[in-house]
Amino acid sequence: MPPRLTPPEGAGTPPAMAEDPKPDSKAAREARLAAALRANLRRRKAQARGREVAQPSEPAPETEVPTSRPRPPETPSD
pLDDT digit string, tens, across residues 24-71: 889 999 999 999 999 999 999 999 998 887 765 565 666 666 667 777
Distance CA 34, CA 29 (A): 9
Total domains present in the chain: 1
**Which pLDDT score is estimated for 73?**
79
Let me know if residue 35 belongs to a domain.
yes
The CA dihedral of 20, 25, 30, 31, to the nearest 10 degrees, is 160
Let me know if residue 19 belongs to a domain.
no
Which domain, by its residues, includes 49?
24-53
Let me know if residue 45 belongs to a domain.
yes
Residue 71's identity, in one-letter code, is R
Let me know if residue 48 belongs to a domain.
yes
Let me know if residue 13 belongs to a domain.
no
3-state helix, strand, coil split of the chain in percent (to 5) is 40, 0, 60
Q: Kindly state the DSSP code that residue 56 receives in the 8-state scheme.
A: -
Global pTM value: 0.40
